[in-house]
Amino acid sequence: MPRRYGCLVSQALKIDEQRLQSEIDALALISENPPPVVTRILFSEADTRGRAFVEKLAQDAGLSARQDAAGNIFMRWQGENPNLPAVATGSHIDGIPNAGKLEGVVGVLGAMEAIRALKRSGFKPKRSVEVIVFTSEEPTRFGIGCVGSRLLAGMLSAEKAAALKDRDGRTLEDFRKKAGWNGSLSSVRLPQNCYSGFVELHIEQGPILDQEKIPIGIVERIAAPSALRLELTGVGGHAGGTLMPGRRDALLAGAEIALAVENAALNSGSPDTVATTGVFRIEPGAVNSVPCKAHLEIDLRDTQARTRDAALAQIEQSVPEICERRGVQYELERIATDAPVTCDPRFVDLIAAICSKLNLPFKRMISRAYHDSSFMAQICSTVMIFIPCRNGWSHRPDEYSSPEHIKTGVSVLAHTLASLSSSA
């Protein structure tokens, strides 16, 4: 029998927008680059300090914190009946190179403020409420995103995770032991329905809410992402002495492959296919030397797995053709191919009801970015709340949502947590 959710809306719930904004600004200063750039890559010193910053806020808010063997952090507000499965929320605080201060962070610090606001209003949850900070939502270090949530959901095996390597050949296993994330990675996996639900607040990372001036998006589906890694080995040599006909230039093979990636997306038959060659490094990287090696990382997504898979197959067919013609050796690896995700329609309807009671316009929508929600949805009912970001910009330092939009998103999150944590 599907559970029904009462929609709780309280005038007593007040979000402290200034405090939240100052915490967002303070966390933004914990970065590998000077402001306004935020770069917080997994296992960097900034990542470690960012985690400590969040744990201190949790402590001040009276939440108990624990960390699993993959470094996922769980911060719990104990409910009246701690034996019931908890309601979870959260997101990530790691950031790609040259990022802004909001994505991921709004879902973590916003969740903390949502809990503080609920506490101030006198609300007492029946179920516990847990804020999760997921390890490495961003793929920067290991080429694969959502490492923590994949492990939680059993979508990445402990063996594969332990063997993940960064560009310098350092493994997750080496790093996590040094970070003090002890225990076996296989202990990270959570049982099915160990949470009664998961809800993630996030900036849209697309232009729709901003263009249409709608303060809240309710995510019904999350697009299907995939990622490829490609190593190309050609033959280097002197830029003056190596005549053009005999060249086996790894960069040029890579360049042609990057164009084939663009073509595969443009000709997939779906306007929703997007493909990006976001990493392209060459060796030896000297102006007077023919590039002998190239390393490419390719990101390919679609709202439909069918058209995404067809584009993926086309890229995988182009690579050997181009490399053979250019006399370049290749190693091509599929890092991830994830399915699209459907959010729980009961949660979507609940948030729609909350927005209506709060007189907030809202839009049901698709997330084109992937999120830890994509993996939490494998183990429990999941939904996402989006807020507008200026021009849809994200993954860049000028990423911006107004304090008013952030406050509105946190208010909707707080009401959603109140409703979900009150259900029997």
Binding positions for ligand GLV, rule: CB under 6 A: 137-138, 145, 369-370
Nearest CA among 338, 284, 329 for reference residue 309: 338
Min separation Cβ 17 and ligand GLV, Å: 25
Comparing CA positions, the residue from 305, 307, 156, 143 lying closest to residue 223 is 305
Rounded-to-integer distance, Cα 375 and Cα 148, Å:
9
Closer to ligand GLV at the Cβ: 90 or 145?
145
- Output 8 or 275, the one with its CB closest to ligand GLV: 275
Minimum separation from the CB atom of position 57 to ligand GLV (A): 23
| HEC per residue, 162-200 | HHCECCCCCEHHHHHHHCCCCCCHHHCCCCCCCEEEEEE
Burial of 404 (0-12, 13-18, 19+ CB in 10 A): exposed
Give whichever of 277 and 421 is closer to ligand GLV, judged by the CB atom: 277
As measured in angstroms, the least distance from the Cβ of 64 to ligand GLV is 29
CB of residue 182 to ligand GLV, shortest distance in Å: 28
Name the residue nearer to ligand GLV (CB basis): 85 or 207: 207
C-beta closer to ligand GLV: residue 138 or 249:
138
- As measured in angstroms, the least distance from the Cβ of 146 to ligand GLV is 8
Considering only CA atoms, give the Rg of the chain.
Answer: 23
Question: Measured between alpha carbons, how far is 72 from 147 in angstroms, rounded to an integer?
Answer: 10
Q: Nearest-CA neighbor of 145 among 313, 264, 301, 314? A: 301
CB closer to ligand GLV, 276 vs 289: 276
**Shortest distance (Å) from residue 226 CB to ligand GLV:** 12
Nearest distance, CB of residue 150 and ligand GLV, angstroms: 13
> Which C-beta is closer to ligand GLV: that of 142 or that of 370?
370
Compute the least distance from the CB of residue 395 to ligand GLV, in Å.
7
Closest CA to 229 of 331, 308, 126: 331
Nearest distance from C-beta of residue 145 to ligand GLV, angstroms: 6
Cβ closest to ligand GLV, residue 137 vs residue 220: 137
Nearer to ligand GLV, 195 or 370 (CB): 370
CB 86 within 8 A of CB 200: no
> Phi and psi of 316, rounded to 5°?
-65, -25
- Whole-angstrom Cα distance, residue 303 to residue 52? 36
The C-alpha atoms of residue 106 and residue 131 are separated, in whole angstroms, by 12
Residue nearest ligand GLV (C-beta atom)? 369
The rounded distance, in Å, linking the Cα atoms of 45 and 7 is 42
Asked if 223 contacts 301 with a C-beta cutoff of 8 angstroms, the reply is yes
What is the C-alpha separation between 420 and 195, in angstroms, rounded? Answer: 11
